[in-house]
Amino acid sequence: MAPLHPFLLQSILRVRDFLDQLVDVDGEEEAGGPARALVPPSVTVREGYLLKRKEEPASLATRFAFKKRYFWLSGETLSYAKSPDWQMRSSIPVSHIRAVERVDEGAFQLPHVMQVVTQDGSGTLHTTYLQCKNVNDLNQWLSALRKASAPNPDKLATCHPGAFRGARWTCCLQAELSAAGCSHTHSAVTLGDWSDPLDPDAETQMVYRQLLLGRDQLRMKFLEDFNMDSSPEADMEDSGAMEGACPDALAGQREAASRLLEVLEDLNRAHEEFQQQEQRKAVSGPRGP
């Protein structure tokens, strides 16, 4: 790993930004109309114990208001009961969900809390707070709930990451319960849940976009620098600096960069051919009987 260490150090920030954009893209940025359903309607995709608390008046908002319940999530409902064997279940229609977000730890002095914001038939918003057992459980529930509610219209653009306690929001200190949210919402999956299915169209488009953005930098860094360094003058100047470098590692990096650029060119040609086909179809129009 030592020969690759400088290369990895230079790439850490770029890779992190790439992953952030890949897994945290707002639904408004995804072209192609309404989102498709990512969760089967009648199949339970996640279940387990959570601590639940409904939105209540400020005078009742204590940390002891959380109650242990067993939850089931499908594409249609988020249902819960006192135990897995309990016959009577309460449920929240997934179609009513307008936001699924993390909650600041300071809101209830509890970690791993998320909120599910729903809207009833009269347009009133209701918030249910759920505490998970650890950060992995939190990420997986966030991911599953966001995927299940992906096709829902009228998603909230903002929400409060805190709670309304002591006559004000703990996050932004606004005194109105109906004050607009102070933080943007998210509709994509999280890094903690790679095993669940992603939206292939949106993910492929984002990967392709990121590769195109880095194509010129990749060519300049590995190929053009290599051509410049191949001159005799460069060899004389850099002979001392190259003593500690590993030529095989550098050659391997350049070879990998060349192969990746070839793949990008193939993708670009295929993309252009597809666009030309779509343009020809639009010009010709539907055929008559």
Instruction: Measure CA 105 to chain center.
Output: 21
41-195: CATH number: 2.30.29.30
DSSP structure class, residue 17: H
Q: Which residues of 129-151 are buried (b: 16+ CB within 10 A; e: fewer)?
A: bbbbeeeebbbbbbbbbbbbbbb
* Backbone φ, ψ for residue 167 (5° rounding): 65, 25
| CB-CB neighbours of 253 under 10 Å | 16
For the chain, domain boundaries:
5-20+201-284, 41-195
Task: Tell if the pTM clears 0.85, that is, is over it.
Answer: no
Rg of the chain over CA atoms, in angstroms? Answer: 26
Going residue by residue through the chain (289 aa), what tens digit of pLDDT does each one get?
455 555 555 555 565 555 555 444 444 444 444 556 677 788 899 999 999 998 765 544 455 589 999 999 999 999 999 999 998 999 999 999 999 999 999 999 999 999 999 999 899 999 999 999 999 899 899 989 998 998 898 999 999 999 998 889 999 999 998 899 999 998 765 454 444 445 566 667 777 777 778 778 877 777 665 555 554 444 444 444 444 457 777 777 778 778 878 887 887 788 788 788 878 877 776 554 4
Q: How far apart are CA 49 and CA 76, in angstroms?
A: 19
